[in-house]
Structures are given as structure tokens and as C-alpha cells.
Structure 1
């Protein structure tokens, strides 16, 4: 069991070394410049979440108003 666990962790470590990370590996890069790709990606995700939340809110408002209208007309 311990050999399987150790083997798994070694494979995970090996795969993580192959991954590309969203920050600059240049040791001269300092501050936010080092994390430019990470910051840019985070901004894109936040904007997408805000747009999606707005769409859901407007859709909910329109559909609830339509439901109220339909129930008033039907009664």
C-alpha cells in the first residue's frame, strides 16, 4: 500500500513538472509583472462571471414578469 502511494505521488510530481504555470519563470521578473498571465486570466474570469450574473438576473426578471402576466390573464 505504501509503495502504491509513493508511486502515485512520484507520478503526480512528474506530471506537475510538465505543466505550464501561469506565471513568468524569469527570475528577473518582479511584482505583478511576474504574474501577468495569471492576473489577465483572473480579470477575464471575473468579467465573464459578472456578465453571466447579469444575464441570469435579467432573464429571471423577464421570466417572472411573463409568468405574472400569464397568470393574471388566465384568471
Structure 2
């Protein structure tokens, strides 16, 4: 079926699909850019804590059951 089409029709299809791809890419990049602006303005407006507390955690294969208050 594709072999039966004239070169002009093939060029039009390639042009159409290429244009659609460019438009989709432009919309996607503009959405990402807008989201980055929103995130950056939100981070700039939120106050940073002066004394951040850091907590360390150790992952082990044991757990403590709070209902029994003993190690399993």
C-alpha cells in the first residue's frame, strides 16, 4: 500500500508527522520549563531552617514489635 503512493503524498505524510513531533516536543518542553519555574519560586519563597536536625538511621534485619515491647 505504501509503495503505491506517489512521492508527493509520502513527503506530505513525513512533513505532517514531523510537524506533529515538533509541536509535541515544544509543548512538553514548555510544560517542563513552567514546572521548573514553579518549583524554583516555591523553593526561594520557603524559609530555610537555621538549625536543621539530622537523624541517622541504621537498617538491620531485626525489628521491634511495639505491641510486645521486645525484639523478634
Q: Aligning the two structures, in what range does the TM-score lie when normalised by the shorter sequence?
A: 0.5 to 0.7
Higher relative contact order (CA 8 A, sep 6+): 1
Unaligned runs of 5+ in 2: 51-72
Q: Aligned residue pairs: how many?
A: 50
Unaligned runs of 5+ in 1: 1-19
Higher strand share: 2
Q: TM-score, normalised by structure 2?
A: 0.54
**Runs ≥4 in structure 1, deviation > 4 angstroms?**
none
What is the CA-CA distance between 1:40 and the residue it aligns to?
1.1
Structure number with greater Rg is 2
Higher helix share: 1
1:24-67 Cα offsets, whole Å, 9 max, x none, are 5337x244x33222211111110000000100000000100000
